[in-house]
Amino acid sequence: MAALHIAFFVAFAVLAPALANAAARRWRAANVLGPVVLCYVLGILWGNQPWLPVAPGLAEQVAGAGVAMAIALMLLALDVRAWRHMARDTALGTLLAFLSSMLTCAVGAWLFRDSVDGSWQVAGMLTGVYVGGTVNMAAVATALEVPHARFLAVSTAEIAIGGAYYFFLLIFGARLFGWFLRPPPRAPEPARAPDGAPQAAHEIAPAGRLRARDVAAALAMGVVIVGAALAASQLAPRGARDPVLVFLVTTLAILLSFQPRVRLMPATYPTGEYLLLVFCVAVGSLARPHTLADADPMLLAYMAVAMFGAIAVHAVACALLRIDRDTCIITSTAAIYGPPFVPAVAMRLQNRALVISGITAGIAGLALGNYLGLAVAALMRWLGA
């Protein structure tokens, strides 16, 4: 029976993106939501039905494999030269995102010091996750000797609040931030194909028109990159393997993208987009909306102040410093959610050049999250929070 559950879920995760793409092309309402949101919804529906449960750990494995392959293939198709034009704003936006998270997590710990147990510990964990990712939150919790029950409560609330905002960001984010942030800069001159003809950065062959051999070649490239990165990441300490894997996949794909014949392969980017949708289905299946009812309301309030406060402070700072809308959104996403969620947002913004800068910002957060989380926790403990 377990083998049947695995087969059904893998088949569903692989086929659901095709269904989402078809719905987005056919119905206007589905097109407004977009394939990314539709795949999350399909995953949530599958993961919360009782008659065919997802095997333990399977969704995490599918999500991990899907996003690693997606990052590799999408980066292979990018022209790194386009990122250089945005390097300053990306670096500044990333720094502002980190500082905003530290500030609001610390302020929240002080405001809720009498109503949330161990608010200084929560401040450290939230800084870790809102600068880096879940791995940083777990590392900070271990270092601060956070009780297991408190860690689970923070994790549950973070998934609920973060998931709700992520959906909002995918659907309405560009329109909301576009009200007060300047539009993104125009794309640089298009790259040229080997025959000398210009090839626009956004020109991607529709999935239905791709040849099977091109898709197979793209998948083979992805398997080689991820396989090599996975093997090398085993040399790192166990707790650092996930960040190292992301770093190595990103680095190998970027290095290969300098070769025009690799960068101009016709199927890498659309295949990567499809695998990203597989990731969305798998992650959606992990969501449990009913767990929100069991969360401590004061803890939820603290986390809402910390996360939405960080987003608001970051957006205002970006507006004052004339950072464009897409860079603001992608650096905020990289800080709050981490590298795996960057390609989906860049895809929604229809700005694929941001994938490299967003993942770079996310990796920086993974590297700094532990240090900054522990620093905020130590400060708030000293202040009596």
pLDDT tops 80 at residue 17: yes
Cα atoms in the Cβ-side hemisphere of radius 13 Å centred on 365: 41
Digit-coded pLDDT (tens) for 244-276: 887 788 889 888 988 889 988 989 988 988 998
Q: From CA 8, how far away is CA 285, in angstroms rounded?
A: 13
Tokens representing residue 20 in the block: 């989402």
pLDDT tops 50 at residue 194: no
pLDDT tops 60 at residue 242: yes
pLDDT of residue 96: 96
* CB atoms near residue 16 (< 10 Å): 25
For the chain, the domain total comes to 1
Q: From CA 248, how far away is CA 300, in angstroms rounded?
A: 35
Q: Is residue 190 part of a domain?
A: no
341: closest CA among 350, 94, 332, 158?
A: 332
Q: How much is the pTM?
A: 0.68
Q: Is residue 191 part of a domain?
A: no
Q: Is residue 202 part of a domain?
A: no
Sequence-separated (6 or more) residues with CB below 8 Å from residue 180:
315, 319
Yes or no: say if 279 and 340 are a contact pair by the CB < 8 Å rule.
yes
Q: Is residue 350 part of a domain?
A: yes
- CATH code of the domain containing 49: 1.20.1530
Which stretch of 149-153, 330-334, 362-366 has the lowest confidence by average pLDDT? 149-153
Instruction: Tell me the three state secondary structure of residue 199.
Output: strand
Digit-coded pLDDT (tens) for 99-156: 999 999 999 999 999 998 899 999 999 999 999 877 688 778 878 888 877 877 887 7
Q: Is residue 313 part of a domain?
A: yes
pLDDT of residue 286: 78
Q: From CA 371, how far away is CA 376, in angstroms rounded?
A: 9
Q: Is residue 242 part of a domain?
A: yes
Q: Is residue 194 part of a domain?
A: no
Enclosing domain of residue 70: 2-182+211-382
Sign of the alpha-carbon torsion through 247, 253, 258, 264: negative
